[in-house]
Structure 1
Amino acid sequence: MSTMVDTSFSHFTRTAERAANQVIAAYSTSFGLACRLLGPRHRQHVRNIYALVRVADELVDGVTAEAGLSHEQQSEALDHFIDETHRALAIGYSSDLIIHAFAQTARAAGIDQSLTTPFFDSMRTDLGGRTASTGAPLRFDAAAHQGYVYGSAEVVGLMCLRVFIRGHNIDDGDAAALQYGASRLGAAFQNINFLRDLSDDTVRLGRNYLGTADHLEDEDRMEWVTTIRSQLADARAVIPLLPHDARAAVRSALELFAALTRRIEHSSVDELYQARVRVPDVFKAGLAARAVAATWLEPRG
C-alpha cells in the first residue's frame, strides 16, 4: 500500500513539474534559455520557483481584473493563493499544480516564509494601484521602491541561491557574499524591467515604480542605468563562488540584462515609453554560448 501511495505522489509531482515548465514556455524564452544551462539537479527547481512567482505576478497584473473580479475579489484571490502556498510549504502537498511543484522545491532547498512573505507583500502592493484608488497612479518613493524590489525580486534571487547551494558546505564569508550578489542581481533585473515596461506599468497598470513624478526624464534614465550597472557588477563578482553547475546560467542571464541595459542607455525616454527594449534571439544565443565557454574554463569548485 505504501508503494502505491509513493508512486501516486511521484506521478502527481512530475505532472506538477510539467505544468511549471509550461508556464516558463508561455511567458519567458529568456528565462527558459538560462534554465537549460543549469545543471540537471537545479533545473527543475528553478523552473518551479519561476512558475509560482509568475502566476502570482499575473494574478495582480490584470488577469483577475480582466476576468471581471472586483478589487475585493482580486484581493481574496491573492490571499487564497498565499494561504495555499504556505499550507503546502508546511505539509508538502497542494491540489494546485504550480503551488505543489514550488512546495517540493521549497522543502528541498530550505525556502521558507522569510522569503515568501516579502514576495507576497510586494504582490499585495501591486493590488493597491490605480484600480484600487481614485484613479491616480501608484507612485513609489525611494524607500517604497527599495522595499518593493526586495520583495518582488531580491528574494527570488535568494530562493534560487538556496537551490544552488543546497548540499554544499560554504563558509560564512562566501555565504554572505553570495546572498549579497543574489540580492543585487535580482534588483538589477527588476530595475531593468521597470525601464522596459514604462508604458505598460504607467498607462495600463497605473504604477510608477521609478519615482514620484508623472513622467521619467532622460536624466532619470541615466541615473537608473548607473545604478543597474553597479548592481550587475556586484553580482558578477560573486559568480565564481557559485557551484560550477549554476554559473553558466547565472552568467548568461546577467549578460543578457547587461545587454538590455546598454540598449536602454542608447534609447531616449520617449522611445522607452513607446516600445519594450529587446535583445534579438540570435544575440541571446551568442551570450549563452560565451557564458558556457567562460564557465568551462573555470576550475570546478
Structure 2
Amino acid sequence: MSHSRLEFFDALAARASAGVLGAYSSSFSLATALLGSRERADIRALYAMVRVADEIVDGVGAEAGVDVAACLDAYEHAALAVMRSRFSPDPVLHSFGRTARACGFEEEWVRAFFTSMRADIAPRPMREEDFGRYVYGSAEVIGLMCVAIFVRGVEVAPHEREAMWASARRLGAAFQKINFLRDLGEDAARLGRRYYETPLSEEAKARIVREIRADLAAAEPGLALLPPRPRRAVA
C-alpha cells in the first residue's frame, strides 16, 4: 500500500515523539505499554511537546545562548498554530497537533501550560494565588489533556466527563506537589525556584502531605470512570 508524503511525515513525527519519551523517561515509557496503541501514541505526542518546553526553560535554552523567553514564546505560538493546522515542520509539534485536534484539546489548556513555563524563566517567591495558577498550568491541564486522550471516541455523559476532569486536576496537583517536595533543594540551588518556603518547617511539610493525601483521595472517584486500559495505566 502506498502512502502520501503527509502520511509518511505523520509516521516520522510519531517516531520522533516516541524517541523523546524514551530518551527522557524510561519508566514512563514502560508505563505507556499498558495503554492501547492509539492512546500510547497520543500520550507520547503530548509528553514530547511538554518535554521540549521544559527543556527550553530548564537550562538548554540558556546553555545554547538563545533568548529563552523569546524561544518559549515562539514555541507556544507554533504549538497553538498546529492545533488549527494539518502540518508543522517540527516533527514533535506536528505529532502534538494531530493529537490535539483528534482529542479536542482546548487552547486555554495549552496557554495555561505555557504561562506556567514562563513563570520559571524568572522565578520569584510565590504567593498562594500564584502557586495555584502555576500548579494548574504545569500539572492540572496535563491531566485534562490526558483525559481527553483516554476518552477519545468513547461515549461519555457530561457529568462523567466533568468528574474525570476534576479528578485529573486533583491527581495532577498531587503529583506536582510531590515533585516539589522531592526536588526542593535542587530547584532552589540550581534553578533558583522556590515553590515552597525554604527551609521547610516540619509543620509546613505535614500540611503539604495532608494536601497531597486529600488530592489523591479526591481523584479516585473520577479516575474509576476512565476506560479500563487507561484506568489500569493511571493506577
What residue identity is the alignment partner of 1:121? Answer: T
Q: TM-score, normalised by structure 1?
A: 0.75
1:230-260 deviation line (CA, Å, top 9, x unaligned): 1111222222200112111111xxxxxxxxx
Runs of 4+ off more than 3 Å? none
The corresponding residue for 2:39 is 42
Instruction: Provide the C-alpha distance between the structure 1 equivalents of 2:40 and 2:152, rounded to a whole number of angstroms.
Output: 13
Query: C-alpha distance in 1, partners of 2:199/2:168?
Result: 30
Helix, strand or coil: the match of 2:224? helix
Runs of 5+ unmatched residues, structure 2: none
Query: What CA distance in whole angstroms lies between the structure 2 residues aligned with 1:58 and 1:219?
Result: 33
- Give 1:139 deviation, angstroms: 1.1
Show the counterpart of 2:26: 29
Please list, as runs of the form range in 1=range in 2, the aligned pairs for 1:276-291 lying within 5 A after superposition.
Answer: none
Distance 1:18 1:218 in 2: 46
Q: Is the 8 A contact 1:201 1:207 kept in 2?
A: yes
Counterpart of 1:97 (choices 91, 102, 113) is 91
**CA deviation after TM superposition for structure 1 residue 75, in Å:** 0.9
Distance 1:92 1:25 in 2: 25
Alpha-carbon distance in 2 for matches of 1:167, 1:68: 44
Aligned length, in residue pairs = 235
Q: Separation in 2 of the partners of 1:222 and 1:66?
A: 37
Same amino acid, percent of matched pairs: 43
Q: Corresponding residue for 1:59?
A: 56
Gaps spanning 5+ residues in structure 1: where? 130-137, 252-301
How far did residue 68 of structure 1 move?
2.4
Any idea what the Cα deviations from partners look like across 1:183-219, whole Å, max 9, x if unmatched?
0111111111111111221111111112xx3321222
Report the Cα distance in structure 2 between the residues aligned to 1:247 and 1:22, rounded to whole angstroms: 24
TM-superposed CA distance for 1:17, in Å, is 1.1
Q: Which residue of structure 1 aligns with residue 183 of structure 2?
A: 197
Q: Which residue of 2 aligns with 1:241?
A: 225
Aligned-partner SS, 1:151: helix
In structure 1, C-alpha distance between the alignment counterparts of 2:153 and 2:119, rounded to whole Å:
35
Once superposed, what is the RMSD of the aligned Cα atoms?
A: 1.5
2:127 matched residue in structure 1 = 141
Of 203, 208, 216 in structure 1, the residue corresponding to residue 200 of structure 2 is 216
1:17 paired with 2:19, answer no
Please identify the structure whose Cα radius of gyration is greater: 1
SS in 2 for 1:92: coil
CA–CA separation in structure 1 for the residues paired with 2:167 and 2:228: 16
Partner of 1:225: 209
Corresponding position of 2:80: 86
* Aligned-residue offset at 1:223: 1.2
Aligned equivalents of 2:218, 2:30: Cα separation in 1: 23
Deviation (angstroms), 1:83: 1.0
Deviations 1:65-122 (A, max 9, x none): 12223xxx11111111111111111112111111111001001100131210100111
Shift of 1:168: 1.6
SS in 1 for 2:16: helix
CA distance in 1, matches of 2:176, 2:55: 15
> Does residue 1:7 correspond to 2:1, yes or no?
no
Contact in 2 for aligned 1:35/1:249 (Cα 8 Å) = yes
